[in-house]
Amino acid sequence: MAERTIPIADQRLAVSVPPIPAAAPAPGAPVVDRLGRALHDLRISVTDRCNFRCGYCMPKEVFDSQHVFLPHAALLSFEELTRLAGVFVSLGVRKIRLTGGEPLLRKNLETLVAMLAALRAPDGQALDLTLTTNATLLARKAQALADSGLQRVTVSLDALDDSIFQAMNDVGFPVAGVLDGIAAALRAGLGPLKVNMVVKRGTNDGQILPMARHFREHYGGRVVLRFIEYMDVGNANGWRMDHVLPSAQVLERIDRVHPLEPLASAQPGETAGRWRYRDGGGEIGVISSVTQAFCRDCNRARVSTEGRLYLCLFATQGHDLRALLRGDASDAQLAAAIAGVWAGRGDRYSELRSAGRAPLADGARKVEMHYIGG
């Protein structure tokens, strides 16, 4: 597999052009990696741009006004993204999530949504089509997205206190704007809706109970709040273990006020541990990538906005699918190339980190989260 080094924003990662095997897998046949994990979820980043500068993802001191984002010509077109998604569906993908950056910054995104919504699994079933957003533009776009075939949204919101939230997004955007977006999404039928809160000890952990109380009391069970451990994604966020508040402590804080009981996983590969309030007040989730790694069940592939395939959120290596898309590769050849990459997958970064083993070679750089989504 030939390797070359290309610029990706301010970083340089090895990118391989996957070879095309002689035979493609049969449509609908399961494609599994070296640890027996089947390909099921595809996350497509539609832009590397974001209008927030959250410290855990795109800190302003790194992603400042001089930062160079990808030029439009480098991005996959909607037709290319849809063709690629269709190939992934033939390999077993049944869920597609649009991410960024902030995906609603991509012009005419509802057009792509409609194109993806028309895809079908080999058995004729529709796909699970979702989107993750900071909700700054959601109030304006929710209805058009729903009309185009989007089924659900996940909203990022790290605090209800306006001063804390504005400090974390670092652009002064108010909580009210996010809540307006959530309300618009629910009116449009984009639910049940998930809200993700990244918990950073000493920064916003005092918001755990206010967030739990708000989403428990105001949405009639139509919103599931999920607490995410602060992760060492990318190279720019200055991550330290003492900034992590373990999910077990999050649950303890909530349980003391609103008693909880565990729920079974809804589906294989689910990242969040599920809990419900004993009094019937709804459900919450915890995503514990740092303290309770779930690598062994990870069934997600990620494609960047310029067509690089990444096999892990903490990847140091990409695979150039755009070169095949814009070459003369057929869909069958694309499927064979992707299946070959997935078959060689052995990524388990969080598991190794949790076990106290070095997950990366010395000097290796991870892809930044804004480039491939969460």
Q: Domain 3-372 belongs to what architecture? A: Alpha-Beta Barrel (3.20)
Q: Which of 143, 141, 137, 128 is nearest to 156 (CA)?
A: 137
Q: Which amino acid is at 9?
A: A
Look-up of token digits 């950056």: 101
Residues near 269 by beta carbon (within 8 Å), at least 6 away in sequence: 37, 40, 41, 297, 298, 299, 300
In tens, the pLDDT along 317-366 reads 899 999 999 998 999 999 999 999 999 998 887 777 776 766 666 667 77
CA–CA dist 115, 265 (Å, integer): 30
Among 5-9, 12-16, 235-239, name the one with the lowest average pLDDT. 5-9
Taking residues 259-277, what's their average pLDDT? 86
Taking residues 287-299, what's their average pLDDT? 86
User: SS in 3 state form for the chain?
Assistant: CCEEEEEECCEEEEEECCCCCCCCCCCCCCCECCCCCECCEEEEECCCCCCCCCCCCCCCCCCCCCCCCCCHHHCCCHHHHHHHHHHHHHCCCCEEEEECCCHHHCCCHHHHHHHHHCCECCCCCECEEEEEECCCCHHHHHHHHHHHCCCEEEEECCCCCHHHHHHHHCCCCCHHHHHHHHHHHHHCCCCCEEEEEEEECCCCHHHHHHHHHHHHHCCCCCEEEEEEECCCCCCCCCCCHHHECCHHHHHHHHHHHCCEEEECCCCCCCCCEEEEECCCCCEEEEECCCCCCCHHHCCEEEECCCCEEECCCCCCEEEECHHHHCCCCCHHHHHHHHHHHHHCCCCCHHHHHHCCCCCCCCCCCCCCHHHHCC
State yes or no: pLDDT of 2 exceeds 60. no
pLDDT of residue 229: 93
Compute the mean pLDDT over every residue in the chain, rounded to the nearest whole number.
90
In tens, the pLDDT along 139-179 reads 999 999 999 999 999 999 999 999 999 999 999 999 999 99
Q: What percent of the chain has pLDDT over 90?
A: 68
In tens, the pLDDT along 20-48 reads 887 777 766 789 999 999 999 999 999 99
Taking residues 190-199, what's their average pLDDT? 95
Binned at pLDDT 50, 70 and 90, residue 276 comes out as very high
Spell out the domain ranges in the chain.
3-372
pLDDT of residue 28: 66
Taking residues 5-31, what's their average pLDDT? 69
State yes or no: pLDDT of 268 exceeds 70. no
Look-up of token digits 């898309």: 325
